[in-house]
A and B are shown apart, each in its own frame.
Chain A
């Protein structure tokens, strides 16, 4: 595993080097395009009167700064022959704007530490304690490349890799995006590996089903794996947006391994996973969505048919007789509704699904509100309060933490230079009183650095499934370099 990761990192590094060179040199086609633009501009009426201020020293300094960043191209050299001084300045600005339009290399490096103040729970009798450590370190890199291939086509590539100190399952790589997108007026077409988000609520994303969750990255289910797809959408001015997704190669949900923290009491063995479809991972899944916005209302209706993203877990044994969970991926159909009504500082939200195919058909709903006090108390700080209720009717071996619970949270946005944000929230199970608390803080330092702090506390009651995480409360620190 470490060897393949190293290989992956090396490959990514090579790609990065390659694309840097690519973006530094313009292709002949790009030059043609630029030249075309110049011609078009020249045909436009010339500015009649340009203010004297344009030639003040401050302007010249600014222009000079930009010049440093970008070597003048041939076109600029020709542009220099134009008599008007202000026209020349126009060209300089063009170049700066073109830099935006050309390929963009971006991404982040992440150094992460997780601290566990309590000793790990004893495993089932007879097996050794594997995850009793107080610190887990890991490194991640997410390199990305974006470009406008033509005026009507974008390409985006985002890779991801993490190396984890303890958990082999968390040492993983992924193609987050490898996607071509074309747009012609009301139509868009896309193909490749892509991420799509549906929904409105904060505590749970019920309706969102296109992508598999990257569960080893984070238990909060916000991070997703790329999904191979062909997609198209049509937006009608009055009737809203209609989207169709045809997907294949469903990704299995990877759980933390025996050395992960927190982890399930038994390992989930993806090697013996079962698909209901005879085509297994090759099953084609399809999804349709209609989304609509009018006045303060945003509405979405969706339908999905294909391989479930959330597996059912059944007790099984490996050849050596070791008990494990066997994941089963059923063929499901799911209808989803998401709606938000926005009025002044209020966001009223609801998401609901009905799913068939994994045992008895069931429904689930998440609903509530978020209210923001902007510039609370005469300061520049925004204070948001969130209250949501979650109900889930399933009883079918999928791993659901909360099925009848409240989420209450508070968001503080300082609106400062570093975009400092705090979010604290708690899930409270209405049936047994189990509480899960999470607190996050994030701040940017300078232009490229970001520090994230996160604390999670598990306070299980009775026989709640969180009992397994009783001693896994953690503090997480991420230092990110974003470029």
Chain B
């Protein structure tokens, strides 16, 4: 009898074990640890210069300001404000991210003074014509992916865990991502993105990490190279500020029209 129950349990649990094997557990643990180390930042603001480069080396720049509010028990709230190109000056995007549930997003168009709720299933679309998709820049919650630990590896001499993560969202443009996370501080060192056909699409490389408030690491430079179209996008971050006392009332549709 006891043996029979044990057998039934083994049969029933076998598929679950296959999904959550040791490699999966370790992958998830690494992702959780990285997330744990970045919680408690409260709020941040930063400026970013986004440079788009095409195959011929032609450049186009965007100046963007990002404010983020950490929300306990839910995804972060963020406000993205455009300063250039000048035809989109003052355009702002308010996002309430909700992990695996659809985000709420409002776009403010200053010329018409119009706040527009926009569809939130545009995950894989390019952000402002860049090589970054909306999902690459959105709040990275642990539950947005399933994980698998692959091996220990190195990125430019830094010891890393190599894990794979698989987007849960059906609207994601990726089948999998390979993420190199350094063992010292659990910072992403490199991400390879594989498209819906399983082909290598893009490589993301964050560098020039700096520690803030003695705890939170932020990269000052990020490069996304698209291997399929030869284009790349570089982000230069500056003016990081933490815990400047932003509140829920700074992330409302009303404030969206007053963000500059």
Q: Taking beta carbons and an 8 Å cutoff, which residues of A are in contact with B?
A: 44-45, 47-51, 53-54, 56, 58-59, 62, 66, 86, 93-94, 96-97, 100, 104, 106, 108, 146, 148, 154, 181, 183, 185-186, 188, 195-197, 199-200, 222, 233, 235, 237, 241, 243, 291, 293, 295-296, 298, 340, 342, 344-347, 372, 374-375, 380, 382, 415-419, 444, 446-448, 450, 480, 482-483
Q: How many A-B residue pairs have CB under 8 A?
A: 153
Interface string of B230-249 (1 = CB under 8 A from A): 00000010111000000111
Contacts of A86 in B (CB 8 A): 210
Query: Residue B210 contacts which of A54, A243, A416 (CB distance < 8 angstroms)?
Result: A54
A146, B63: Cα distance in complex, Å: 17
Q: A45-B214, A100-B65, A450-B87 are in contact. Are A415 and B125 (CB under 8 A)?
A: yes
Q: Given the complex, which residues of B lie within 8 Å of A200, measured CB to CB? A: 116-117
User: Would you call A48 and B121 a contact (CB within 8 A)?
Assistant: no
Residues of B within 8 A of A344 (CB): 102, 119-121
The interface residues of chain A lying within 8 Å CB-to-CB of B88 are 419
Closest residue of chain A to B195, judged by CB?
A378
Q: Do most interface residues of chain A lie in helix, strand or loop, or is the interface mixed?
A: mixed
Interchain CB contact (< 8 A) of A447 among B85, B104, B208: B85
**Are A372 and B83 interface neighbours, CB within 8 A?**
no
B84 contacts partner chain A, Cβ-Cβ < 8 Å: yes
Task: Evaluate contact between B121 and A375: CB separation under 8 angstroms.
Answer: no
Are A345 and B60 touching (Cβ within 8 A)?
A: no
Q: Write the B84-122 contact mask toward A (1 if CB under 8 angstroms, else 0).
A: 111111000000000000101000000011111111111
Contact-residue bracket for chain B: 35 or more
Nearest Cβ distance between residue B236 and chain A, in whole angstroms? 6
B109 to chain A, nearest CB (A): 9
- The residues in B between 198 and 214 inclusive whose CB is less than 8 angstroms from any CB of A are 207-214
Q: List 26 A-B contacts (CB under 8 A).
A: A45-B214, A51-B209, A54-B220, A58-B221, A100-B63, A100-B83, A104-B83, A106-B89, A146-B260, A183-B258, A186-B249, A188-B254, A235-B252, A241-B253, A345-B119, A374-B119, A374-B122, A375-B125, A382-B125, A417-B54, A417-B129, A418-B129, A419-B87, A444-B85, A447-B86, A480-B87
Residues of B within 8 A of A44 (CB): 213
Smallest Cβ distance from B184 to chain A, in angstroms? 10
Interface: B162 (CB within 8 A)? no
Q: How far is the CB of A105 from chain B (nearest CB, A)?
A: 10
Verify A53–B213 contact, CB threshold 8 A. no
Residues of A within 8 A of B238 (CB): 66, 93, 96-97
B208 and A241: CB pair below 8 A?
Answer: no
User: How many Å lie between the Cα of A460 and that of B83 in the bound state?
Assistant: 43
Assembly CA distance A382 to B133 (angstroms): 13
A483, closest chain B residue (CB): B86
Given A47-B211, A100-B83, A104-B260, A419 and B129 touching (CB < 8 A)? yes
Q: Considering the chains assembled together, what is the distance between the CA atoms of A51 and B240 in angstroms?
A: 16
Q: Mark B61-75, 1 if CB is under 8 A from A, else 0.
A: 101010000000000
